[in-house]
């Protein structure tokens, strides 16, 4: 790809970008949120057809008219935003657009066999007939990956595939990627996770502000240098130091004997008889594998399942029945969900509308909107979280993934919460912004907030949490303090081994 | 020679009878090249018709023919036109009061009565009858029902099944099928329009009972009721004249300064297989 | 630099839904100038009457705009016009209620009907199309039932079957009149008031923002503390309220309550909302555009009517022009 | 273990859309047994006739099911019934075309109309509601134009204005007949064939998968290489084709082509689709359920009809029962 340029409504988001990809290599595409990575690969995949510059494939110039054309040459993409049809079965999703047919009649048996074989190779135990949308986000991501792996890929593009995966699933994916590489398949991999980048990379290309900064072999590009390429300045220390807890701080959130009925209806309970406590200024990490029930716990606490929860809950000493999100917000809770597209944002609406939605009761106490206050509030957060946008009137759908995540965070901070429930708060956020979010979290806890944090990134979990609760099958299997926690210990407990800490 | 513009406001063109009325007017007017007619159709909407009358007045037509959808709501606009000096001929349905030049119409109640009498005679005063009613929120439906009921009062004729088929043939067929399922001894079907009677006949034919039942309809349009009578489908169809020809006659006399009678009641005819070739028989 | 910025702004403005809707309206107006029916199009009375004719539809469209932005649809508005026209006429003419009481009763009845539809949608999670379709059928039946299938007018049937004529209540004439030196129909003023109320609600009330939010992404709205069900109930309730207002206006203009009034008005009203650029997918739109949509449809009908276009041709032209006008809008949606 | 598993399966089955739709149908049938109109409900002819009556609606519902699963809607099907009934009658009766040629011409015309709506949706990105609303108005106008506003029947007007009577073409009687010892109407068989074709397409063809995909998540489908526009065109085209089939059946049953035929049939057909549990949001549903929906609506109408329920009560009952029946479905959606 050479001299690639692309504009949206007059705004230039890619300018003279180049990328060369060799067979059998893993090529990392790195850059801050909104640098233009997803846009670049969408051009390569035939999704954006209007752009400047040229693409050549195996030495021949090509210009794809549609995704089918790219797919026909073996270019497969795992998109950043999930592109599954939630209502369709897993099987149909896997073969969507590439059904096996005889006289345009589906060869259903062959499809089932191939799919079963593939899922087995990936080590996934899924019901092929269930709808894809009924699986949790992480498994949906795995289905998406399986879909791209079906058939013969020549170029596989992965746009932040692990942002919704747990460690074990990510390992499976990496093993598969290695196998593909062996076969001579070229991989483009986009991620904001440094550990992954250096584990996988053969070569690295960095974009900044839609411009090509450089391409280099991974072993010739030290981590600090790459970060400098990405953000344009030095960034010291990956994780900011956490101040020690004030001893004997009062509990902000106390939960006893809390159960959540399984919303999917598969089991009886997603969370069973759980007790925990978050104290003022404390970050409590919640670890667990897919299906451990930690996301359901947060949703349940937040009142998203009225009637589906049992148990006692107190916020700042006051009893709270989790009846609705509105009640939870009023009590000082805030929930950042793990799926910003489905449950976090209203894609068509402007940044400002999204940002003020949860805080509207506070911003317009009499029921009358106060546009000037809203504007001020939005402007404040755009600046504080460094959200890259033309103005607060821009629809959030046109923001890059990371910036969308920052809008979600801002939305909840605007409610001035006492307890933050964070489910993968840094999902898809670039390293610079992650750093900012970590510092913000420290700041908030210093101001007396309590945070209940779910994250699938082990380093993040270990570095940020004051205490770590490990969940398995809806129960807490271990409680580890900051000092006693080790990745191995967490993994063991997450697999279901009861461990005393 | 002086030419005249006549505005014609038809309340809707969804019913064949009204299409026929426009056709009759057109046919009669064709013989008089000095008449220029403008047709508007109110799509069964009272307020649209009101607007049309206002438009005709604004455009300054020489004469207005209105076949109104409703009496009460259309009285004021017609009265306003009349007061402005535009002669108005009201066709088919009445208005309230006397603020118009001339009313031409047939009497649905009378036709219903005649149909009833004919039926009593035909059935020798006894038997089970099905009544398929036209839209009962419309005055023709109400009158054709009331007149019929007057005539069969205190006879042995019993209406065993009645349903509102809303002037629609498929609905008539549907309702008739239900009637047939319930009553094995139906002697006659009285439908408020010919398509309704035809729909009932289709149902009876499908059940193999069309020979045992007589079918009576109203309207007597050439391509519907009269055809059905000729084909032996209907035992009788009672004409509901459109008054199109009479309207043009009246218009000509008004425009020539010789106003006709304030009210012209149209004579209607009964068509039966016996008299159809002779052109029907005028009702008393 | 300055100039290109201006041009950029201009280009963006042209792409805005408002500009698109305006453009469609202007095109229709040009049609009117071309086919002016011997100058009838240039008379003020033509425009005044057009605005009066579209008012009932416009009032319905106001309520529908809210429901549609909230991600729903309401097919029952036409039937509610009939029901409320009958109810209002019964109460004022037959029962002799004072106008204010009758109006209050109708507004209450309309709101109750709307809230019922809303309840089916919010509480029983019925699809709005089917819930309001059922309400449409039900309300029509109710209108026929309470009126006994007769038009309710100043011609009152006596026990012996004869008709006596009573005075039409003053409220009918008041609503049917024109004000400002005969220049604007009262029902048009009612329409403008409904428009202003709706605009205020959508733009200035917190609840208005909630309406947009649940139409945009119901789940995200719920998790942001938006009271989804209450918002839906209110949206349908408001739509029912406006339907009642439209019913009063219809009765006043017809000087009677016709149980068949308002049949298929919902389709015209929805067309108005969509012509205005509000998306049926929900979450986007506004009522300022609905005014433009109403004018577009109003002029379209008026031009066809003053030119006395025949029934078949009129239907074909209406279909064609709706498509062309909405294609002008298409740039406005994503 | 075994037993609890069975119960679990049973519980899941009860929750399935099919079971729900069946339940609604059974409830209606029980109503029929209670109000059996002196045993009329127990006669075979009652059921046979019910099935005939619902056939035209059912044929429309087949096409609509596809369009609705594809995330669209088609309001023009009723008008297309009228248009094709007129066209078919004109061609066979007035122009003397052989039946096969006339049928082919009608199917082509219906498909063309459907593809046009589809083109407006796919190419110009009009909202389906408004695109097909325009088509509905246009097709009705066209039907009136080609028929001159009159019914096209075996009474043919001569140049002098008098009427002459021609024989009704055999194809009309063939379609209007019953087969299998008088037990099933031919139009009902046509309905079943349409149902089978639709079921085959949706369940077995690649294109059927595409229909579900674009209805479920158009963007994801596009990214997966589904030809979204072609799929939409085909869906609307199929719906138009089925409308033409319904038009032929309508003409045959009326023995004439009525330009007013099919008015508001689209609402009944949509109600059938939804009663069957297909979601108007798209992406979910099936045509097997549409059959159950058709039977439910068919029995509802039949029971009201054999009991000679008055118009007002009939409307109110229909509205109520639709709601109750669909509430049975609600567990089936999400
Ligand atoms: N459809 C669109 N319309 C307008 N602007 C867009 C659109 N899509 C992307 N952009 C803009 O293009 C820029 C690049 O976006 P892109 O999604 O490529 O970033 P990215 O590098 O993938 O970021 P991230 O790491 O957050 O995913 C962003 O500023 C974004 O706001
Ligand atoms: N969490 C917040 N984030 C951004 N802006 C805020 C926030 N809270 C308040 N503001 C802004 O500060 C101004 C005053 O807000 P408000 O009337 O809510 O007072 P307050 O709650 O006492 O806040 P503050 O402590 O900032 O004065 C407004 O312009 C409002 O938009
Ligand atoms: Mg991206
Ligand atoms: Mg503050």
Run of H or E residues at C116: helix C99-122
pLDDT the model gives residue B201: 93
Instruction: Flag whether D105 is in a domain.
Output: yes
The pair of structure tokens assigned to B77 is: 């606009």
Chain D residues with CB within 8 Å of chain A CB: 204-207, 209, 212-213, 215-217, 219-227, 283-284
DSSP A241: P
A229 to chain C, minimum CA–CA distance in Å?
32
Confidence of residue D2 (pLDDT cuts 50, 70, 90): low
The boundaries of the domain holding residue A186 are: 2-231
Q: Does C259 touch chain B (CB under 8 A)?
A: yes
Region of A103 on the Ramachandran plot (φ > 0 left; ψ -120 to 50 alpha; else beta):
left
Nearest Cα residue to atom 16 of ligand 1: A36
Distance CA C90, CA A299 (A): 53
**The tokens 């096969």 sit on which residue?**
D100
CA distances from B128 to B216, D37, D59 (A): 14, 17, 36
Interface probe for C, chosen from D119, D142, D289, D312 (most Cβ of C below 10 Å), is D312
Which residue of chain C has the CA closest to D314?
Answer: C141
Residue B216 pLDDT greater than 50, yes or no: yes
Q: Give the separation between CA A361 and CA A495, rounded to whole angstroms.
A: 42
Residue D258 belongs to what domain range?
38-330
pLDDT over 70 (residue A9): no
Strand partners, A470: A287, A478
Contacts of C226 in chain A (CB under 8 A): 326, 357
| H or E element in which residue B174 lies | helix B169-182
Provide φ and ψ at C74, rounded to 5°: -135, 105
Q: Alpha-carbon distance A166 to A479, whole Å?
A: 19
What is residue B16's three-state secondary structure?
helix
pTM (2 d.p.): 0.85
Q: For residue A120, give every residue at least 6 positions away whose Cβ sits within 8 Å of its Cβ, in sequence order, or none.
A: none
Specify the number of domains making up chain C: 1
- Asked whether residue A245 is assigned to any structural domain, the reply reads no
Tokens encoding A426 = 């840094």
Residue C172 in domain: yes
Note the pLDDT of residue D329: 67
Of residues A70 and D115, more confidently modeled: D115
Q: Which of A345, A339, A343, A338 is nearest to A395 (CA)?
A: A345
**Is residue A340 a contact partner of residue A409, using CB atoms and an 8 Å limit?**
no
- Ligand 2 atom nearest A374 alpha carbon: 31
Residue with the bigger pLDDT between A276 and D5: it is A276
Question: Among C215, C232, C209, C220, which residue's Cα sits nearest to residue A411?
Answer: C220
Residue A391 domain-assigned? yes
Q: Is A377 close to ligand 2, i.e. is its CB under 6 Å away? A: yes
Percent residues over pLDDT 70 in chain A: 95
Kind of pairing, strands A309-315 and A251-261? Answer: antiparallel
Would you place residue A500 in the very low, low, confident or very high pLDDT band (cuts 50, 70, 90)?
Answer: very low
| CA closest to C147 among chain D residues | D312
The interface pTM score, or ipTM, of the predicted complex is: 0.83
| A408 and A421 housed in the same domain | no
**How would DSSP label each residue in A463-487?**
HH-SEEEEEETTEEEEEEETTT--H
Same domain, A131 and A167: yes
Tokens standing for residue A82: 């999930």
**Residue D291 in domain:** yes
Pairing of strands A467-472, A283-288: parallel
* Residue B6 clears pLDDT 60, i.e. is over it: yes
Query: What CA–CA distances, in Å, run from D267 to A308, D58, D79, D109?
Result: 38, 12, 12, 22
Going by CA atoms, what residue is nearest to atom 31 of ligand 1? A399
Q: Are A471 and A456 in contact (CB under 8 A)?
A: no
Residue A240 counted as domain residue: no
Q: Is D302 within 8 Å of chain B by CB?
A: yes
A391/A302 same-domain check: no
| Last residue of one domain, picked from the residues A391, A415, A439 | A415
Asked, for residue D20, whether it belongs to a domain, the answer is no
Mean pLDDT in residue range D103-130: 93
Indicate whether C1 belongs to any domain.
Answer: no
Residue B88: the pLDDT is 94
**pLDDT at residue A53 above 70?**
yes
Tell me if A208 is assigned to some domain. Answer: yes
- Say whether both A296 and A438 belong to one domain: yes
Tell me, what's the pLDDT at C331?
A: 53
Percent residues over pLDDT 90 in chain C: 46
Question: Could you tell me if A266 and A350 lie in one domain?
Answer: no
The helix (run of H) or strand (run of E) holding residue C319 is helix C311-330
Q: For residue A7, what pLDDT is reported? A: 67
Mutation choice for ligand 2 from A356, A380, A383, A410, CB with most ligand atoms inside 8 A: A380
Q: Which ligand is nearest to the CA of A429?
A: 1
| C207 vs A contacts (CB less than 8 Å) | 367
Three-state DSSP state, A160: coil
> Mean of the pLDDT values across residues D162-169?
78
Touching chains, C (3+ CB pairs < 8 A): A, B, D
| Residue D157 touches chain C, beta carbons under 8 Å | no
CATH code for the domain in which residue A436 is found: 3.40.50.300
In this structure, what token pair is assigned to residue A34? Answer: 């909104």
Domain count along chain A: 3
In ligand 2, which atom is closest to the CA atom of A414?
1
- Outline where DSSP puts E strands in chain B: 4-10, 35-41, 63-67, 88-91, 102-105, 126-133, 156-164, 186-191, 214-219, 236-239, 263-265, 269-271, 281-282
3 state SS of B237: strand
Which tens digits make up the pLDDT trace of B148-173?
999 998 888 899 998 888 888 888 98
Residue D114: its pLDDT value, please?
96
**Contact assessment for residue C321 and residue C269, using Cβ atoms and an 8 Å cutoff:** no
Residues A403 and A446 in one domain: no
Per the CB < 8 A criterion, the answer to whether B104 and B233 are in contact is: no
Q: What letters, b where the CB count within 10 A reaches 16 and e where it falls short, cover B38-75?
A: bbbbbbbbbbbbbbbbbbbbebebbbbbbbbbbbbbbb
Task: Write out pLDDT tens, residues A444-486.
Answer: 888 888 999 998 888 888 888 889 999 888 888 888 888 888 8
Whether residue C68 has pLDDT greater than 90: yes
Helices (H), A332-429: 351-357, 360-363, 371-384, 401-413
Q: The domain that contains C146 carries what CATH number?
A: 1.10.3470
Q: Is the pLDDT of residue D181 over 60?
A: yes
Q: Are residues A323 and A389 in the same domain?
A: no
Confidence class for position C196, pLDDT limits 50, 70, 90: very high
Other CB atoms within 10 A of residue C177 CB: 12
- For ligand 1, pick from A81, A191, A400 the residue to mutate: most ligand atoms within 8 Å of CB: A400
- Look at D223 and A68 and tell me if their CB atoms are within 8 Å: no
Smallest CA-to-CA distance from A200 within A4, A25, A390, A453 is with A25
Per-residue pLDDT, C279: 83
Tens digits of per-residue pLDDT, B113-142? 999 999 999 899 889 999 999 888 788 888
Q: Are residues A398 and A359 in the same domain?
A: yes
Of all protein residues, the one whose alpha carbon is nearest to atom 25 of ligand 2 is A416
Beta-bridge mates of residue A496: none
Query: What pLDDT score does C332 carry?
Result: 43
C215 or D17, greater pLDDT: C215
- C20 occurs within a structural domain: no
Interface residues of A toward C, Cβ cutoff 8 Å, are 9-10, 302, 304, 324-326, 328-330, 335, 337, 342-349, 353, 357-358, 360-361, 364, 367-369, 411, 415
Residue C23 within a domain: no
Q: Is the pLDDT of residue C69 over 60?
A: yes
Contacts of A398 (CB under 8 A, 6+ apart): A8
So what's the pLDDT on residue A5?
64
């Amino acid at each position: 790809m050479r001299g690639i340029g692309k504009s949206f409504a007059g705004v230039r988001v890619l300018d003279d970008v180049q990328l060369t990809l060799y067979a059998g290599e893993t090529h990392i595409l790195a850059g801050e949120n909104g640098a233009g990575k997803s846009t670049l690969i969408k051009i390569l995949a035939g999704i954006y057809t209007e752009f400047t510059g040229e693409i050549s494939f195996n030495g021949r110039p090509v210009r794809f008219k549609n995704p089918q054309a790219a797919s026909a040459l073996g270019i497969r993409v795992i998109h950043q935003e999930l592109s599954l049809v939630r209502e369709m079965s897993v099987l149909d999703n896997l073969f969507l657009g590439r059904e096996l047919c005889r006289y345009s009649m589906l060869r259903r048996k062959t499809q089932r066999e191939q799919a079963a074989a593939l899922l087995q190779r990936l080590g996934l135990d899924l019901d092929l007939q269930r709808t894809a949308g009924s699986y949790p986000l992480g498994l949906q991501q795995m289905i998406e990956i399986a879909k791209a792996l079906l058939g013969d890929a020549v170029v596989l593009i992965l746009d932040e595939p692990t942002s919704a995966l747990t460690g074990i699933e990510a390992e499976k994916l990496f093993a598969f990627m290695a196998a593909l590489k062996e076969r001579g398949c070229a991989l483009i991999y986009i991620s904001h996770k440094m550990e992954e980048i250096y584990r996988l990379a053969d070569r690295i290309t960095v974009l900044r502000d839609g411009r090509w900064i450089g391409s280099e072999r991974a072993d010739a590009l030290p981590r600090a240098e790459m970060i400098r390429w990405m953000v344009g300045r030095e960034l010291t220390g990956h994780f900011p130091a956490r101040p020690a807890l004030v001893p004997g701080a009062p509990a902000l959130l106390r939960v006893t004997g809390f159960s959540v009925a399984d919303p999917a209806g598969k089991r009886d309970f997603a969370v069973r008889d759980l007790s925990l406590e978050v104290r003022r200024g404390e970050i409590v990490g919640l670890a667990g594998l897919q299906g451990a029930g930690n996301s359901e716990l947060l949703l349940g606490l937040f009142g998203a399942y009225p009637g589906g929860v049992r148990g006692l809950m107190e916020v700042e000493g006051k009893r709270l029945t989790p009846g609705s999100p509105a009640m939870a917000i009023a009590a000082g809770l805030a929930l950042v969900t793990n799926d910003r597209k489905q449950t976090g944002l209203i894609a068509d609406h402007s940044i400002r509308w999204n940002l003020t939605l949860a805080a509207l009761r506070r911003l317009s106490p009499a029921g009358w909107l106060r546009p000037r206050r809203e504007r001020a509030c939005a402007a404040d957060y755009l600046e504080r979280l460094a959200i890259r946008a033309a103005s607060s009137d821009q629809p959030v759908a046109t923001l890059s993934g990371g910036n969308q995540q920052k809008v979600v965070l801002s939305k909840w901070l605007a409610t001035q919460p006492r307890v933050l429930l964070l489910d993968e708060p840094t999902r898809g956020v670039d390293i610079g912004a992650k750093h900012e979010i970590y510092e913000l979290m420290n700041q908030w806890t210093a101001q007396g907030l309590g945070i209940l944090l779910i994250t699938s990134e082990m380093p993040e979990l270990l570095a940020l949490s004051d205490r770590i609760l490990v969940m398995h099958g809806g129960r807490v299997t271990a409680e580890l303090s900051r000092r006693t926690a080790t990745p191995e210990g967490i993994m063991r407990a997450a697999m279901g081994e009861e461990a005393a800490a | 020679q002086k030419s005249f513009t006549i505005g014609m406001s038809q309340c809707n063109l969804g019913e064949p009878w009204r299409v026929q009325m426009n056709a009759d007017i057109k046919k009669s007017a064709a013989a008089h090249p000095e008449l220029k007619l403008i047709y508007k159709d109110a799509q069964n909407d009272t307020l649209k018709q009101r607007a049309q009358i206002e438009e005709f007045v604004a455009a300054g037509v020489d004469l207005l023919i209105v076949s109104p959808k409703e009496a009460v709501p259309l009285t004021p606009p017609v009265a306003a036109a009349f007061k402005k000096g535009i002669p108005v001929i009201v066709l088919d349905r009445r208005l309230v009061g006397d603020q118009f030049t001339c009313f031409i119409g047939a009497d649905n109640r009378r036709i219903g009565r005649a149909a009833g009498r004919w039926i009593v005679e035909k059935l020798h005063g006894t038997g089970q009858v099905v009544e398929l009613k036209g839209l009962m929120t419309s005055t023709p439906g109400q009158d054709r029902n009331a007149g019929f009921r007057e005539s069969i009062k205190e006879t042995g004729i019993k209406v065993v099944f009645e349903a509102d088929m809303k002037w629609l043939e498929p609905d008539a067929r549907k309702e008739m099928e239900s009637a047939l399922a319930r009553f094995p001894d139906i002697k006659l079907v009285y439908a408020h329009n010919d398509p309704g009677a035809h729909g009932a006949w289709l149902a009876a034919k499908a059940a193999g009972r069309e020979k045992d039942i007589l079918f009576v309809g109203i309207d007597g349009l050439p391509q519907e009721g009269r055809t059905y009578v000729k084909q032996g489908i209907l035992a009788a169809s009672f004409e509901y004249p459109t008054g199109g020809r009479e309207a043009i006659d009246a218009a000509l006399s008004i425009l020539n300064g010789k106003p006709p009678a304030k009210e012209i009641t149209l004579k209607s005819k009964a068509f039966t297989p016996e008299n159809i070739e002779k052109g029907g028989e005028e009702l008393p | 630099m300055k100039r290109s910025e201006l041009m950029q702004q201009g280009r963006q403005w042209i792409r805005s839904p408002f500009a698109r809707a305006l453009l469609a309206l202007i095109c229709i107006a040009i049609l009117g100038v071309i086919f002016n029916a011997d100058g009838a199009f240039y008379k003020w009375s033509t425009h005044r009457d057009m605005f009066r004719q579209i008012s009932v539809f416009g009032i319905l469209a106001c309520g529908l705009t809210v429901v549609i932005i909230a991600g729903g649809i309401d097919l029952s508005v036409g039937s509610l016009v009939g029901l409320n026209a009958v109810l209002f006429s019964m109460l004022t003419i037959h029962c002799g209620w004072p106008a204010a009481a009758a109006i209050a009763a109708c507004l209450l009845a309309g709101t109750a009907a709307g809230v019922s539809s809303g309840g089916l949608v919010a509480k029983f999670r019925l699809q709005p199309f089917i819930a309001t379709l059922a309400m449409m059928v039900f309300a029509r039946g109710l209108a026929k039932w309470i009126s006994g299938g007769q038009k309710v007018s100043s011609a009152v049937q006596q026990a012996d079957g004869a008709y006596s004529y009573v005075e039409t209540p003053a409220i009918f004439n008041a609503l049917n009149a024109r004000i400002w030196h005969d220049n604007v129909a009262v029902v048009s003023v009612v329409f403008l008031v409904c428009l202003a109320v709706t605009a205020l609600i959508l733009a200035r009330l917190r609840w208005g923002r909630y309406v947009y939010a649940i139409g945009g992404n119901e789940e995200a709205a719920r998790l942001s503390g938006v009271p989804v069900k209450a918002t839906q109930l209110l949206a349908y309730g408001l739509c029912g309220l406006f339907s009642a207002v439209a019913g009063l206006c219809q009765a006043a203009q017809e000087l009677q309550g016709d149980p068949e009034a308002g049949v298929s008005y919902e389709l015209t009203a929805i067309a108005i909302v969509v012509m205005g650029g509000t998306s049926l997918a929900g979450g986007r739109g506004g009522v300022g555009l609905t005014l433009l949509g109403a004018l577009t449809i109003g002029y379209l009908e008026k031009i066809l009517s003053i030119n006395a276009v025949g029934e078949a041709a009129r239907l074909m032209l209406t279909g064609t022009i709706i498509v062309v006008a909405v294609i002008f809008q298409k740039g406005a949606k994503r």
